[in-house]
Amino acid sequence: MKSVWLMLALGVTLAGMNDTHARDTTPRSTPEAAPAGDDRFLWLEDIHGARALDWVKQQNAATAKQFVDNAEFARTRDSILEVLDSEARIPYVNRMGSYLYNFWRDKAHPRGIWRRTTLAEYRKTEPAWEALLDVDALNRVENKRWVFKGVECLKPAFERCLVSLSPDGGDAVAVREFSIPHKAFVKGGFELPVAKSQVGWIDENTLYVGTDFGPGSMTESSYPRIAKEWKRGTPLAAAVTVYEGKPTDLAVGASHDRTPGYERDFVSVAKDFFHSELYQRIGNQLRRVEMPTDANADAHREWLLVQTRSPWTIGGDHYPAGALLATKFDDFMAGKRRFVVLFAPDARTSLDSYAWTKDHLILNLMDDVKSRLEVLTPPQMATPDGNWKREAMPGAPAMSTIRVVDTDPDHSDEYWLDVTGFLAPSSLKHGVLGSTAAETIKQAPAFFDAAKFAVSQHFVQSKDGTRVPYFEIAPKGLKLDGNNRTLLYGYGGFEVSLQPQYSGSVGRAWLERGGVYVIANIRGGGEYGPQWHQAALKANRPRAYEDFAAVAQDLVRRGVTSAKHLGAEGGSNGGLLMGNMLTMYPQLFGAIACEVPLLDMKRYIHLSAGASWMAEYGNPDGTDWSFIRTFSPYQNVKRDGRYPPVLFYTATSDDRVGPVQARKMAARMQAQDHGNVWFYENLEGGHGAGADNQQSAHMHAMAYDFLWDQLK
């Protein structure tokens, strides 16, 4: 059971690639704990300090004057906003009981409205929606700027819910109990102040809760260290401790599985991003689910699934990294160690994800980063070989991605699929395994003329000979004369895969202008399973940068573009990628957009939630600094270096990576007299850098216009 905190700690941003779709707000900066030597820009780490914010305002004004205050920017922004606000977008839903629930933002509801409908209504062109919570109306009443961050409702009635609201778009949220029948927050109900909290229902009068209980209750990564059981009508201080982790743990959480006949309680202790311990709670006792700490476990009804991240030998059998294994949960807890292999990877195929229905398991596989689905049916009775029935599920068009949007594992074999590609707007399909074939329920509109473009996949050898794939979206009949403005996007971390996906924003703001758009599937990602990710961990991090550089060079070799016409873009861990393109390979690019980035790798574990990523990058306070220093852009930028134009953008409210690394990098480069260094900081939006569609459109338009202008 992969903790929700691992997903929060991930720090993924796919800026511009997804048009339709995861308290203590002071910085965790502790200069005394990590002397920064001659770092003259430590003062910019005071996130809300007057001096630092004055600097931000001056930078924003200069950047806006250069790239925002003109008619071209307004056209780009409005074009993107039209995509984000379109009433014709698919309103993606998740089932809770008899209703389908959706959270929707548009021009009339910039902060969004939480609503529901029935399947019969949803099939209609214009469904009738029942509004539950209007966040904009709530903000007007409370004089706040709440950002909706999700909801968890109590099974099986789904009448009481825990709503999470962020004051600025960051990860820290207020939690309030909400009554669906009354469409109102419950007076005197469960409520938590703003913090990085984890809450979940046990029953209608009891919660599991991890939050800021006071000094020492949060980990060094800024997530809950203590899981407690909290009874209705009692003060939070009276909640009973279930598990107390160490300050060095990433996070601790507890959960209750309410599946009828299979009710179980679990405690998850994330040691770092890739290692955790899982315990079953029985009364006041905890029993360890004995498996490798780097494996992910999932209990569903009588089954236990284990997804390996490293080779595992147990019970005389050997299982590879990236495999999916199955056994009976109770048998495993009783000491039996016999598994059935549901999936084993090969050189070109990996497991992207899986989803349970009531009686089946859907596997989402990637063949060279392209999707296909399989349906597995567990044996109805125990058999000596434990065979599971396996069937292919109808696939998607070439160069496409299939995503299981939702299932109803407690009650039925219903499933919802999203099918998309770079040039194919999403279609939402609905079906019931063994009963109803998938049918298209909703079709997203086209926001640009896809007939003008072609998608191709290419492979290039990296510096060490590794075969690295990349996707290219380009005008048909592209002249391979080196003169095409080309934007190369990458991430390369945390086992995140960049798969084909439609983006009206990219289509309008880049492709329709005549540009070429390229996605690099570099190591560090999950395109070929955990080994692809592990190939770029810690001391091997430069392999990801070599891969990205190899793609850039291949684009030039093939005549698609040239260095002066080639731009690069990435955010979060992809922002660190951009920082290293800037300092390691400046000769390859004509401009770089570096978004919500990590850049100061000497100080990153002391900034915001940075300590949670040591398993990815290493610990700069110890001997790991000997290799981290080689990919720390803030330390490696030099006064006598020659760098392409660069735009750094971030958000004051980003409590994951934080804004200070982008601030310091821009300030250092400007102090070194490098020209064409630009910086912009949005006040809201958290790690996504936009609290609503208007802000998101503004930030993306600025990046695209900057790159387009610099690459001419």
Catalytic residues: 572, 687
User: What are the start-end ranges of the H helices in 376-514?
Assistant: 504-509
Longest dimension (CA), the chain: 73
Cis omega (within 30 of 0) for bond into 645: no
**Residue-wise DSSP of 482-543:** S---EEEE----TT--------HHHHHHTGGGT-EEEEE--BTBSTT-HHHHHTTSGGGTHH
Query: Is-contact 501 420, C-beta < 8 A?
Result: yes
Task: List, in sequence order, every residue forming a beta bridge with 175; answer none if it has no partner.
Answer: 164, 192
Task: Give, for 256, the enclosing helix (H) or strand (E).
Answer: strand 251-257
The whole-angstrom separation of Cα 570 and Cα 353 is 24
Q: Which H/E stretch holds residue 131?
A: strand 130-134
Q: Are 305 and 298 in contact (CB under 8 A)?
A: yes
Number of other residues whose CB lies within 10 A of the CB of residue 309: 21
226-231: strand order across its sheet: 198-203, 206-210, 226-231, 240-244
Neighbours of 319 (CB within 10 A): 20
Judged by DSSP in three states, 85 sits in helix
Q: Which two tokens stand for residue 651?
A: 């958000």
Sequence-distant (6+) residues with CB within 8 A of 64 are 680
Distance CA 229, CA 232 (A): 10
* Distance of alpha carbon 76 from alpha carbon 81, whole angstroms: 9
Alpha carbon of residue 59 to chain centroid: 28
What whole-number distance in Å separates Cα of residue 343 and Cα of residue 325? Answer: 7
Helix locations, 334-403, DSSP H: none
User: Where is 416: in which H helix or E strand?
Assistant: strand 414-421
Residues ≥6 apart with Cβ < 8 Å to 222: 24, 28, 196, 608, 609, 611, 612, 655
**Under a CB-based contact definition with an 8 Å cutoff, are residues 268 and 1 in contact?**
yes
- What are the phi and psi torsion angles at 226 (to 5°)? -130, 130
Cβ partners under 8 Å of residue 219, min gap 6: 225, 245, 246, 247, 248, 249, 250, 251, 252, 611
CB atoms closer than 10 angstroms to residue 624: 16
Residue type, 453: F
Contacts of 224 (CB under 8 A, 6+ apart): 5, 196, 197, 198, 210, 211, 212, 217, 218, 251, 252, 253
228: nearest Cα among 152, 281, 264: 281
Backbone torsions φ then ψ of 659, nearest 5 degrees: -85, -10
Buried b (16+ CB within 10 A) or exposed e, 582-612: bbbbbebbbbbbbbbbbbbbbbbbbbbbbbb
